[in-house]
Structure formats: C-alpha cells, structure tokens
Amino acid sequence: MTNISDILMNRRTIRKYTSEPVDDNLLNELLLMGCRTSTTGNMQVYSIIVNRDEQLRKDLAPFHFNQKMITEAPVVLTFCADFNRFNKWCLLRKAEPGYDNFLSFMTAAIDALLVAQTVCIAAESRGLGICYLGTTTYNADKIITLLKLPRGVVPVTTVTLGWPAENPDQVDRLPLEAVIHSETYRDYSLEELDKYYKEKEERSDSKQFTSENIKQTLAQVFTDIRYKKADNEYFSKVLLQVLKDQGFLE
C-alpha cells in the first residue's frame, strides 16, 4: 500500500508482532522522515531513545504496566521533550536560555509528539505495525532513571514497532461532525451527545466490554475502570514532580 490516503484511512494499532527484526537501515529511514516534521522555530527540542536490547525492554516493561508489546516488539521508541541539548548549545554560544518553564515543556512535548506521529505514519507506510503507550507519562520518573534522561528531558510517549502478527478489525470513530466546529466552538446539546455516541454505544464489542466490566454504561468503564479519577490525580502529582525535577517549573 503506497497511497497516503489509503494508509491513513486503513490503519489500526498493532499489538502483536512477529519475531522478525526491524532492519537498522529501515529504522534509520523512518527516524529521518520523522525528523523532517515541523518543529518549533526549527529548534528540534526532542530526543528519541531507541530500545532494541531485550534486557532493557524487560526492565522498561513494569513502567508500562507490563503491557506485552514492550517485550514482544523488536523496537521500542521513547519520544522525549528535550531542552537539555538546546540549553547547552545556547550556553556554549554565550546565549542565556529561558526555557525552564511550563510553556517550554509544552513546546518540547508538542515537538516530540509530532515527530512520534510522523515516525508512526512512515512505519505504517512500510507495512510495520505500531502501538502508542500512554503509560510513559504515568511512570515518567522511573523511565527517566532507567533511560538516564538528564535534567531538561521528559519522556512524553512511547511507540512499539514491529512486523504485524495480527490484523485486527478497525475500531470505531465518532462521526466527523462530532469533532469538527465551523469557525467557533459549538457546545453539545444532550440530543447531540446521544446522537454522536449512539453508534459507539450500540456496537456489540462496546456492549460486551460494558457487561464484562459489570457496568451500566460504556462511559462508566472509562470513569470507573480505565481512567479513574484517583489514578489521574496520583499520576498528575508524579508528573508535576517530574517537571519540577527536570527543570521545567522554575
């Protein structure tokens, strides 16, 4: 599949990989393409940690709540917001960096996420499968220690990469009109919410997911099981401390 529209419209997350390795040259090409992505002020305030080593991936696994993709995928990429390199360059060139603040973290995090997504599209265009791991921001403190990330560097997302060993069905999306606002934001009426979430709620997999989790509604699976308030509050504290320790809240 070479047509970019087909790639984008037919993609799905891949969580099972064959044991076939990903060639170094191919990976380099994907990373090169990723680094052509737009970047704030052409500063490239990101770094990408490539993990192929089996032991290191095993060590990383618990920080991603032992999601099996970490150890089964031949390549794990951790995308980091990184002002360390840029700050050091500034100091070397007699320039005073002013990037020890939250805005700069956001700038670098946006840069890192854009590169990540381009690497993912590049990988998918070559037939590879990818899976993002949102667990990176939950356990950023532990990942920082393991990957030896210095002050100024914060991991923001992880992508596992490998040759697909599954071909899952595509999952649903909300209708386009649910997420698009023309000119200004149009807030949602109850009727619109009913309409936009109807298809998702009526899918047999959603119904099964809801009953398996002994919940009355699909939304409750999110609020009570998958993304709980208590967890969100706990990991927010951890992440805020990480931003402080890494020098982004001075």
Ligand X SMILES: Cc1cc2nc3c(=O)[nH]c(=O)nc-3n(C[C@H](O)[C@H](O)[C@H](O)COP(=O)(O)O)c2cc1C
Positions touching ligand X (CB under 6 A) are: 12-13, 15, 67, 131-135, 157, 171
Cα–chain-centroid distance for residue 6? 22
Minimum Å gap between C-beta 186 and ligand X is 25
Minimum Å gap between C-beta 139 and ligand X is 11
Minimum Å gap between C-beta 207 and ligand X is 17
- Using the Cα atoms of residue 98, residue 102, residue 107 and residue 108 in order, give the sign of their dihedral: positive
- 3-state SS, residue 50: strand
What distance in Å separates the CA atoms of residue 85 and residue 70, rounded to the nearest whole number? 27
- Identify which of residues 133 and 242 has a Cβ nearer to ligand X in the complex: 133
Task: For the chain, give the number of residues.
Answer: 250
- Identify which of residues 97 and 197 has a Cβ nearer to ligand X in the complex: 197
- Identify which of residues 85 and 126 has a Cβ nearer to ligand X in the complex: 126
Per DSSP, the residues of 34-73 read HTTS--GGG---EEEEEE--HHHHHHHGGGGTT-THHHHS
Minimum Å gap between C-beta 136 and ligand X is 8
Cα-Cα end-to-end distance for the chain: 48
Per DSSP, the residues of 205-224 read HHHHHHHHTT-SSHHHHIII
Instruction: Specify the DSSP class assigned to residue 63.
Output: G
Where does 97-219 show beta strands of DSSP type E? Answer: 129-133, 153-162
- Identify which of residues 28 and 232 has a Cβ nearer to ligand X in the complex: 232
Minimum Å gap between C-beta 134 and ligand X is 3
Minimum Å gap between C-beta 64 and ligand X is 7
- Identify which of residues 169 and 183 has a Cβ nearer to ligand X in the complex: 169
**CB-neighbour burial class of residue 122 (10 A; exposed 0-12, middle 13-18, buried 19+):** buried
Residue with the CB atom nearest ligand X in the bound state: 134
What does residue 100 show for φ and ψ, rounded to 5 degrees?
Answer: -100, 45
- Identify which of residues 87 and 112 has a Cβ nearer to ligand X in the complex: 112
